[in-house]
Amino acid sequence: MSLDVVILAAGQGTRMRSGLPKVLQPLAGQPLLAHVMDMAAGLDGAHLHVVYGHGGDRVPAAFPDARCSWVEQASQLGTGHAVEQAMPGIDDEATVLVLYGDVPLVTRETAVALVRSASRGVALLTARLPDPSGYGRIVRDADGRVERIVEQKDASPEERAIDEVNTGLMAAPARLLRDWLSRLDNANAQGEFYLTDVVGLAVNDGVAVEAVESQDAEEVMGVNDKIQLAEAEAGIRRRRVEELMRQGATVADPGRLDIRGEVTCGQDVFLDVGVVLEGEVRLGDGARVGPYCVVRDCEIGDGTTVHPHSVLEGARIGSGCSVGPFARLRPGTELSAGARVGNFVEVKNSQLGEGSKANHLSYVGDTTVGRDVNIGAGTITCNYDGANKHRTVIGDRAFIGSGVELVAPVEVGEGATIGAGSTVSKDAPPEALTVARSRQMTVKGWKRPVKGKT
């Protein structure tokens, strides 16, 4: 039996107070909807159908590579109506799992349990909440069987006192679900076709309704405003930090580490406070990241230290390197083993060979640096002529003095020395000293300008 997952993502989300559709609000570096789609795509054999409405084509346009069917709900007439829009693309023999684009923390394990329970009829995901306000209540009969779901606005005072709530997630055989959807009416306070009314129809038809109770109220939390969005962010952060610690990371303060992507790490990794990890990040054994660093789409080798307040993006850093403090590594940076990039140094689209170092106040762009090279303080590779980028090549064991400008395209030979303060615009030969300075001159009797008297 196949599995079709219908994700409802058509809501307007007025409480977000945003021009961005609710399901595109950012959560841990991705749109809300992306978290639900990623989880659903991990279910065995799942076919995804995403029902969108508010925001129009902005929603599918945000996922150009998504492997799913996009279904437009032109008029938002309720959750039952939304699911019905997706049913023409679903085979009668399938199981249908209904998820919500604004309920991003549901785990794969919970989804699998719900689908398995649907083999016996309708399966609902429920939760018991200390404050069930706003949720539909699960009404049971005298024998404890699910009888129906009543929405908050339609509930009596006695029904509102029930603490078991409907999370909205449901699984059912497609053939039965198709029939129930066709029999829904909108005789309720909202004037909408509720998906939850399927439960009452199933009971009336003698079909089993099984409640699968979530043991984690956090995973069923819906996100309707910026406060709940922040709460969901905290929930994802906690999950990801705990997973990283299980892999072998020591985290100085789990509440002050942000993970907004896929992070893997080796043993004895240390992450200090205020670190932000984004995209795909790999941390080798013994790697250390100091306070208030941002690391995005990087690989950091064994035993490498990233010192405080550094920003790294798209960099590949070998073992035993030292970066920062206050360093910036831009995309295309590659550091070989033992390389050093110090304070207020920026490196972009460049390779530093083994043991090479740029320790202070330098810019290294579009440059190939050999091994055991010293780049002095204040050195700049002048790689841009206003229209095109040009490359600098520095050979093994070269020594670049302080305050040097290397005007690309230019090559510095192996073992060459460039005198401090030089502007080098022609190739510097290997194993020789190159100095390119203007002649120093002293003007005797020269007076500094002074402000005129007023």
Residue 215, number of CB atoms within 10 A of its CB: 8
391 closest CA partner among 362, 350, 333: 350
Q: Assess contact for 360 and 345: CB atoms under 8 A.
A: yes
212 closest CA partner among 107, 308, 336: 107
- What Rg, from alpha-carbon coordinates, does the chain have? 31
Question: Cα 232–238–240 angle (5° rounding)?
Answer: 105
Beta pairing, strands 346-348 & 363-365? parallel
CA–CA gap between residue 148 and residue 159 (Å, rounded): 11
Beta bridge partners of 146: 140
Residue 231, phi then psi, degrees to nearest 5: -65, -40
3-state secondary structure string, the chain? CCEEEEEEECCCCHHHCCCCCHHHCEECCEEHHHHHHHHHHCCCCEEEEEEEECECCHHHHCCCCCCCEEEECCCCCCHHHHHHHHHHHCCCCCEEEEEECCCCCCCHHHHHHHHHHHHHCEEEEEEECCCCCCCEEEEECCCCCEEEEECHHHCCHHHHCCCEEEEEEEEEEHHHHHHHHHCCCCCCCCCCCCCCHHHHHHHHCCCCEEEEECCCHHHHCCCCCHHHHHHHHHHHHHHHHHHHHHHCEEECCHHHEEEEEEEEECCCEEECCCEEEEEEEEECCCCEECCCCEEECCEECCCCEECCCCEEECCEECCCCEECCCCEECCCCEECCCCEEEECCEEECCEECCCCEEEECCEEECEEECCCCEECCCCEEECECCCCECCEEECCCCEECCCCEEECCEEECCCCEECCCCEECCCECCCCEECCCCCCCCCCCCCCCCCCCC
Residues designated catalytic = 360
